[in-house]
Structure 1
């Protein structure tokens, strides 16, 4: 039998680990092909590629982002390969198999499928976790980790070697989650099963010999076992420095030893922590059974941020007992942490979760199609949802992409409610004609700033982004005479010559808190320019090499 293992990834850079576990667990009596697509591929292209493979059986890996699209692919494939057997698996179908068991689908496997999938391929009887049109067994399976460790490594497959440096490598050191957050599907499996350290350390040794450069750990809570996570981190500290590692953590339970270890590491890009904050409202956290020490969490995150460790933090708007005013406070407190990335999400009412069972209790109305985002609740109106979406847009475009982070921080320090300011920016960004460029975003921010200091900081920050003269975001009235006077100051300092004016670009700026002129000298070497600060009285203030990114030490 010819078996095709496939999925629609969100992006090419992502790799599906579940399919690779199925592949290494394969019954070698069958010819098995692993082929991945993305949700952005054209439907016809996907179908034609599958038909060309001409499998007898197809296993689709289904997630929240590809479930409905997978059904469309399956339907088209069945039209051309009428006898093909199609089975679905994955978290998207495990808790709502009735919605996915269409006429085009032969079966659905619930839970972990490394064993049950191949039993299905071999047409065995009485398979746990299998649902078909004539058979229902909802005893969702969990695979013995000891068995998985006997298989070939799913991380080192020959067909993955050539693009190890082009795609994320997803690694799991454990399965299950110790927490019972009502909105999260991970809460449905509280049985923590760990891969042995011997297995993991041997894997790390082998990975270090490959071209991999980004490893993301799939553990729902990497630091659930403090001693174990510390031992793993110590091993990764010694991993080659051009590789970065990403972990999901509970920030309040990070051990001091792990924090100290990470902070002592000189390569700050090596570790990236994803911390689920979700809310600062204690009643909200209690309502969704998320128990965390907020003060300890803030303290630990502050330590990491001050050490320049990369931190990504999540919020969820629309959770029970948090109205818009409360969420504004939550956003304010997250902003104050100054993490590298702030993900502002809207509650998704995921199938199978405890919160789905309580939706009527909180008056929650949610979209019935993936990603099941809430439309409103008894205290969170649909208008509130739309406001949060706009704030999320501004946060992502301006803060997370480091477009004008220092300007935003100035606004945060000088604005009563930063949410309201980001809402204004989000509305303006949302109205931009697509595709828009960075100078359009800066112009939006510039026109939204009411005071001169904020605008000058933005002008300073704008020129960090370009190696060649950019489009101006605001016109100035610098005539030839003024430009010559500014240049003359640097000539007297012995820094430039008269010929340099042909490379010069002039604007207003700020230096150590005072308004001044800034002159940028561009070059033909595709390097960032040198910047010279000259006072309004034509005295030399200082020079900044934009390649060094000194930021506030020159501006404040």
Structure 2
């Protein structure tokens, strides 16, 4: 990840904002913006120098083992330090973190309950009443409280001081640096490979647009990436967003996610989105084969994907095509994917190998067929289900050749400074 992008840790910045609002000093230790060597020494030196009493890990699917292993080392070297875990992986699979080296598990939807615990100094009575928090009783037995209700906004603002401090190393390859923003929670769709749809207790909610606009205005950066799973769910809301951007004279560049079918549904307002500053839409095309799309429960078709690419290009918005490569792919499927990309003049593409993340519907379907299913391999570039039509080696060769065949063109266009010229009739 750090090779192609180094991004703002928005989740941790909300936690930092919450802690500082109740006068608890804290800092973010972001390894993405640091060298890979001497990680543990650097971390433990910082803990000792800062005199920290509590250390929290923000856990993603591909960092589970690293976080637990590091927590175990810290428990041995600094037994007085309390260790906390949270983040998307913990929210879904919090029972996996009932470990001797961990003291508290935070899997609540929002931060209100967490704030109460910190304000009380981790008082036992408050812990017992808090929602979405796991802790140990006096006998060392884990108590796992029920989650609270879904949320539609955070009650605090993110502390972006870390972003501004590391902005020189913040980037998305070929695009520059981006601040991260959020305008909704969860996703109303049910793609089988994605567990984002189960965030916020599985309920899609939208933040108040005035709060979203206020956040945008407060960000001292020109490029903003909305990481909502689909910014285009509510067409009327999108129009209201554009109207507020225009009325308040906000001149910034936006990148958003959008499903192919919602892109098509919004085709008549794409020019308005462009005028509001939207220059990139990351579209989960996923596959060019209707059978694969059905397997993924995507509820779209190859034709819808093609229409989405076309209408974005016609409105001068860059379509960033995201593809999930199935373990059922044949040699011909790989060839057809490259042909599809060329025929549709897609320049910006990202490929990931189908991975059934724990907590997703796909995991329930494939958990008996998983191979070498370790957290560090859950990054979309490792095989976790044995390919059906070729050896694992040949599958990986063909997978990496997708990048060779497409990114050579992308880098050339970036060098020529015309990678955002959507009206270019040639793939080059």
Q: Is TM (by shorter chain) over 0.5?
A: yes
SS in 2 for 1:370: helix
Cα deviation code 1:122-176 (max 9, x no counterpart): 3321433233452242634455335x2x53x216x55655666764321111001
- Once residues 141 and 61 of structure 1 are traced to their aligned partners in structure 2, the CA distance between those partners, rounded to angstroms, is 20
In structure 1, the partner of 2:74 is: 77
1:167-178 alignment, distance < 5 Å: 167=170, 168-178=178-188
CA drift of 1:302 comes to 1.2
8 Å CA contact 2:270–2:315 kept in 1: the answer is no
1:361-376 alignment, distance < 5 Å: 363-365=369-371, 367-372=373-378, 373=382, 374-376=384-386
In structure 2, the partner of 1:536 is: none
In structure 2, the partner of 1:197 is: 209
In structure 2, the partner of 1:258 is: 269
SS in 2 for 1:75: helix
- Once residues 349 and 194 of structure 1 are traced to their aligned partners in structure 2, the CA distance between those partners, rounded to angstroms, is 27
CA drift of 1:341 comes to 0.9
TM-score normalised by length of structure 2:
0.79
Q: Structure 2 unaligned runs (5+)? A: 171-177
Cα deviation code 1:436-465 (max 9, x no counterpart): xxxxxxxxxxxxxxxxxxxxxxxxxx9x69
Larger gyration radius, structure 1 or structure 2: 1
CA drift of 1:34 comes to 2.2
CA drift of 1:289 comes to 1.3
Cα deviation code 1:250-285 (max 9, x no counterpart): 12222123223245x497xx5111001111222222
SS in 2 for 1:365: coil
SS in 1 for 2:27: strand
CA drift of 1:233 comes to 3.4
1:287-436 alignment, distance < 5 Å: 287-318=295-326, 322-359=329-366, 363-365=369-371, 367-372=373-378, 373=382, 374-379=384-389, 381-395=391-405, 397-402=407-412
SS in 2 for 1:139: coil
Q: Structure 1 unaligned runs (5+)? A: 1-7, 406-461, 466-545
TM-score normalised by length of structure 1:
0.62
The answer as to 2:113 corresponding to 1:116 is yes
- Once residues 424 and 60 of structure 2 are traced to their aligned partners in structure 1, the CA distance between those partners, rounded to angstroms, is 43
Deviates more, 1:285-294 or 1:90-99: 90-99
The answer as to 2:226 corresponding to 1:214 is no
The answer as to 2:131 corresponding to 1:128 is yes
Deviates more, 1:275-284 or 1:368-377: 368-377
Distance 1:27 1:162, change over 3 A: closer
CA drift of 1:365 comes to 3.5
CA drift of 1:318 comes to 1.8
8 Å CA contact 2:371–2:386 kept in 1: the answer is yes
CA drift of 1:389 comes to 2.9
The answer as to 2:154 corresponding to 1:154 is no
Distance 1:17 1:235, change over 3 A: same
CA drift of 1:354 comes to 0.8
In structure 1, the partner of 2:12 is: 19
Distance 1:182 1:30, change over 3 A: same
In structure 1, the partner of 2:89 is: 92
CA drift of 1:97 comes to 3.6
Deviates more, 1:229-238 or 1:36-45: 229-238
8 Å CA contact 1:62–1:92 kept in 2: the answer is yes
RMSD: 3.5
CA drift of 1:95 comes to 3.2
The answer as to 2:260 corresponding to 1:230 is no
CA drift of 1:366 comes to 5.2
CA drift of 1:83 comes to 1.3
8 Å CA contact 2:8–2:163 kept in 1: the answer is no
- Once residues 224 and 369 of structure 1 are traced to their aligned partners in structure 2, the CA distance between those partners, rounded to angstroms, is 31
For 1:187, which of 197, 200, 224 is the aligned residue? 197
Cα deviation code 1:311-360 (max 9, x no counterpart): 211111125x5444334323421332222311121112211111111116
For 2:43, which of 43, 46, 56 is the aligned residue? 46
Distance 1:229 1:324, change over 3 A: farther
CA drift of 1:398 comes to 0.8
Give the count of matched residue pairs: 394
8 Å CA contact 2:246–2:276 kept in 1: the answer is no
